[in-house]
Chains A and B, each alone.
Chain A
Amino acid sequence: MTISLSHFSAAVVFGLFASIVFGITQRNSTRDQVRYGLYCFALFVGGVFVAGWVMALIRR
C-alpha cells in the first residue's frame, strides 16, 4: 500500500489529527474541546498558508 499526498494535503491531514488529540487532551468540557480543536486546526492550516507565502516571497 502506497499513499501519495501532496505537501499541502499531508499538512492538512497532519493538522486535522493533531488538532483532534490536542482538543481532547488539553481542555475539559466537550464544548471547549471542540473549540480548541478547531482553533488548533485553523492555526495549522493558517500556518501552512503563511509559510507558503513567506517561501514564495523569498523565492522571488
Chain B
Amino acid sequence: MAKPTTTEKSKKTATEPEFPLTTMAVVAPIVGWLIPGGGHILLRRYGRGLLLMISVVAMFVIGLGMQGRIYKPNGGDILDILGFVGDVGSGALYILARIMDWGNVMAANASADYGKTFLIVAGLLNFIAAADAHHIALGKKP
C-alpha cells in the first residue's frame, strides 16, 4: 500500500479537529451542571470537584439562608430573565429549591438582596465549572 503523501497528511490534519468531541466531553458538563463539581469528579479530579461542590453549594445555601429570592421562568423584565438564567445554573439545587418552594420571598431588606445575588452567582460559577469540565474532557486542560 502506498504511503500517504505530505499533502494527503496535511489534508487529513486540516479536517480532523485538534480536540475531537467525545461522549465524556458532552456528559461531563451536563453532570457538572446538575451536580456542582460532579463533572470534575466524573473525570477523576476529585479534589477540584469537591472544592467546586463545596463552593457552589455553600453559596446557594447561604443565599437561601439570607432569604434570597429564587427566580421562576419568566418573560417579563430583562433583569428577571437574567436572574432566572443565573439561578438555573445551580442545576439540581435549583430544581430542589423549586420543588420545596424555597426562596419564594420578595427582597424586603439588604440581606435578602445579598442572598439573591449569592443564589445567582452560585449558578453562574457552576456554569463556569461545567465549561471547565468540558475542557478537561476534551483534553484542552490537564
Interface residues of A (CB under 8 A from B): 1-5, 7, 10, 13-14, 17-18, 20-22, 24-25, 28-29
Q: List 17 A-B contacts (CB under 8 A).
A: A1-B64, A3-B62, A4-B111, A5-B62, A5-B111, A5-B114, A7-B114, A10-B66, A10-B111, A14-B117, A17-B58, A18-B125, A21-B55, A21-B129, A22-B128, A25-B129, A25-B131
A20 adjacent to B51 (CB under 8 Å) = yes
B contact residues, range: 20 to 34
Kindly state whether residue B142 has any CB partner on chain A within 8 Å. yes
Interface residues of B (CB under 8 A from A): 48, 51-52, 54-56, 58-59, 62, 64-67, 110-111, 114-115, 117-118, 121, 125, 128-129, 131-132, 141-142
Could you say which of B48, B67, B131 has the most chain A C-beta atoms within 10 Å of its C-beta? Answer: B48
B interface, over-half SS? helix
Could you say which of A1, A21, A22 has the most chain B C-beta atoms within 10 Å of its C-beta? Answer: A21
With A21-B125, A24-B129, A25-B129 given, is the CB distance from A3 to B65 under 8 Å? yes
With A3-B65, A13-B62 known, 4 other A-B pairs at CB within 8 A are A5-B111, A17-B55, A18-B55, A22-B128
A24–B114 CA distance with the chains assembled, in angstroms:
24
A57 to chain B, nearest CB (A): 21
A interface, over-half SS? helix
A2 adjacent to B67 (CB under 8 Å) = yes
A4–B111 CA distance with the chains assembled, in angstroms:
7
A18 adjacent to B121 (CB under 8 Å) = yes
